[in-house]
Amino acid sequence: MPSQSQFLPNGETSQQQHFHSTLSLQKLRRFNTLILIFRFASFCFSLTSTIFMATNTSTNRPDWKDFDAFRFVLAANAIVCLYSFVEMGFSIWEILKGVTILPEIVQVWFDFGHDQVFAYMLLAANAAGTGLAKTLSSEGKACSVSNAFCVQSNVSVALGFAGFLFLGFSSLLSGFRVVCFIINGSRFHL
């Protein structure tokens, strides 16, 4: 059982044991598995979006490297892909071992802070990509030369939005863990 030190009014510390029933441990494992599923989905969508954008090149049509917004889409999705991969490892460790890799307070705030930052970064990148894709299709210059370029760009941006959606769900759950930690002194909600 994990223990937590508490400071007493006279300056001494006491060890408080967290008791978890079998039912609460099963609920915690399901909660951590749900976080893992959301992180896996975010990883898959971000990876696919990165691949779609990186392969959106040809000699006789526009290239994604020619547009700042598409470079931002590629970079943001690649960063979120890497982050989600690392966080999947953290989640698997926590499910198997029952403890976090980092100290609990650091892990809770690390997850929540990074989920928030990367979710907003991904949203901003995909919004910029959407704006550029809409401009390119309405002007017709790039899309008249090669419709495949515009379709592949739109698919990449759409996959990035799906990655944002699942990262947002992960962020909600990690926010819940932060609140539980503030209220209970532990990431456990029971």
Integer Cα distance of 31 and 47 in angstroms = 24
Helices first, then strands: H and E counts in the chain: 5, 2
Q: Is the pLDDT of residue 1 over 50?
A: no
Q: Which helix (H) or strand (E) holds 111?
A: helix 104-139
Q: What pLDDT, on a 0 to 100 scale, did the predictor assign at position 59?
A: 65
**66 vs 162, which has greater pLDDT?**
162
Q: What is the pLDDT of residue 22?
A: 66
User: In whole angstroms, what is the distance from residue 56 CA to residue 156 CA?
Assistant: 9
**For position 5, what pLDDT does the model report?**
53
Residue 81 to residue 119: CA distance in whole angstroms: 11
Q: Which residue, chain included where needed, has tokens 């863990």?
A: 177
Strand partners, 3: 17
The Cβ of residue 167 has, within 10 Å, a number of other Cβ atoms equal to 30
For the stretch 98-141, pLDDT in tens is 888 888 889 999 999 999 999 999 999 999 999 988 888 887 66
Q: What is the pLDDT of residue 28?
A: 81
Spatial distance between the Cα atoms of 45 and 140, rounded to a whole number of angstroms: 28
Tell me the C-alpha to C-alpha distance, in Å, between residue 94 and each of 57, 74, 98, 155.
41, 30, 5, 34
Q: For 17, phi and psi rounded to 5 degrees? A: -90, 135
Helix (H) or strand (E) holding 152: helix 147-184
Give the lowest-confidence range in 14-23, 32-41, 53-62.
14-23
Q: What is the mean pLDDT of residues 57-78?
A: 85
**Could you tell me the residue ranges of all domains in the chain?**
27-184
The model's pTM is 0.81
Token output for 41: 């989905």
pLDDT averaged over every residue in the chain: 84
